[in-house]
Structure 1
């Protein structure tokens, strides 16, 4: 059961209506989770500024973060959405499942990123310093570390929003992760 409703175009502020118009042009629809932000006059625009901000991380690296954090938080909405995005970025279904599990055997740099991100998410920011050093050892920088933490916060926001509101998932469901 949903905790709150998904607002429609006619029931949001003019500023949020403009954002909905832009999303419809970009995606063909307004994803329910983004629409849920529009209950607030400012949250949708604020969140999108964070989500679309510049980063030292590539889109593929940011997607690793999105998938790992969403798996840690067991967010059905974000797992579904980011499985679709990961596929668009060139990850295979098998690679997406592996990333969600917190490891990346096909790329040592992404593996160090995934392992560190999983640890940060599980330990609420109290990272295992051996994983931080392994992250740096494969060529990531201090800027990458800071940007990874910002991306974790971004994903935690959407994971928490969905887990609290239970708005309907409007992407194909992500396959279960085999234990």
Structure 2
């Protein structure tokens, strides 16, 4: 099972067409919807410190508030919609995502991201993965 996860994760990272910052927005947005405390801490840390997502963006996703960057906001909202609606975003969701500058290939990439991140979120839920020391500064609890 780990092989499946690693292959999907690596493929998303290599083939999604998203920048590293956008990838973290996708993963953080999905983790928010799935209420994964481990992934919220981990992707907040990675976003803030490794891929340089602006802290105001990661904080907005963490608090479910308005993201100041228009394109990243559209990406986050679409990833959340796909996750919440179990692959059934509305036509308006799709139109808003595409009008922000994303493509149909990016839609496929978000779906892939939902798959791989949901696997990770569920692993962490079931096995109560403890937060790594490196991520403890970004511990999160859903509002």
Q: TM-score, normalized by length of structure 1?
A: 0.69
1:1-150 counterparts in 2 under 5 A? 43-53=1-11, 54-87=15-48, 88-100=50-62, 101=64, 103-105=66-68, 107-150=69-112
**Structure 2, unaligned runs of 5 or more:** none
Greater length-normalized contact order (CA 8 Å, ≥ 6 residues apart): 2
Aligned pairs, number:
136
Tell me the TM-score normalized by structure 2: 0.85
Bigger fraction of residues in helix: 2
Cα deviation code 1:112-148 (max 9, x no counterpart): 1111111111111111210110111121111011011
Extract structure 1 runs of 4+ deviating beyond 6 A. Answer: none
Conservation of the 8 A alpha-carbon contact between 1:77 and 1:169: yes
Query: Contact conserved, 1:103 with 1:115, CA < 8 A, in 2?
Result: no
Larger Rg: 1
Change (3 A) 1:92 1:140: closer
5+ long unaligned stretches in structure 1: 1-42
